Amino acid sequence: MAFSRRESIMLVLAVLVLAVFVVNQLVPAAQRLYASREQAVEDVLLAITREEKLIEDALLWYNRRLDAQIRQADMESLTFIGDTVPVIEASIQRDLTRHARETGLTVNSTGLAEQLESDEWLLISQEMSFLTTDPANIIVFLERLEHSVPRLRVKDFSLDRSRNQFGGDITVVGFARATNISRTIGAGND
């Protein structure tokens, strides 16, 4: 089928109008679609990067939390626990005299415990007098105090020798969290 000259010109004009329409309408729409797709890809990549960073941070914070919990458990194992100050004082006195007796020291006397509160901590000081015939018992006793749980720290120590006996005085301190017993701190001093 052959086209007449007039039909051919109209066909060429129709193709030109279609080309102008495609260039003016479809190409910008395709460019906008491509640009929005590129932006969506960038947004997804940014979100992936943020998620990876959050996962890394979550692992870091999880490990820090575990470390803090371990340190807290270690700290709590070194402190005395009780509902009231007299209960904590009794625990310190009991542990001190038990360590002394188990290492061969004879306990002469124990003094009244003294307490000092600072911020969230309660320091309780306990004095004890002892006797022994074997100075090695004193060394073993001091080593036991150094490794005691809850921890008893030696604040003051004196030793005298009289004939074949050694007599000494020791003051140890133990710690407790004051926040756990804050309502009853005054109960031990009445």
Strand-pair partners of 162: 165
User: What is the model's pLDDT at position 1?
Assistant: 67
Separation between Cα atoms, residue 142 and residue 81, nearest integer Å: 23
Residue 175 to residue 124: CA distance in whole angstroms: 6
- The reported pLDDT for the residue numbered 98 is 96
DSSP class of 24? I
pLDDT given for residue 24 in this prediction = 86
pLDDT per residue of the chain (190 residues) written in tens, 0 to 9? 677 888 889 888 999 988 888 888 888 888 899 999 999 999 999 999 999 999 989 989 999 999 999 998 888 888 888 888 899 999 999 999 999 999 999 999 999 999 988 888 889 999 999 999 999 999 999 999 999 989 999 999 999 998 889 999 999 999 988 776 744 444 444 4
> What DSSP assignment string belongs to 99-166?
HHHHTTPEEEEE---EEEEETTEEEEEEEEEEEES-HHHHHHHHHHHHT-SS--EEEEEEEEEETTEE
pLDDT of amino acid 182: 45
Instruction: Check residue 48 and give its pLDDT.
Output: 94
* 126/1 Cα distance (integer angstroms): 120
Determine the pLDDT at residue 189.
Answer: 45
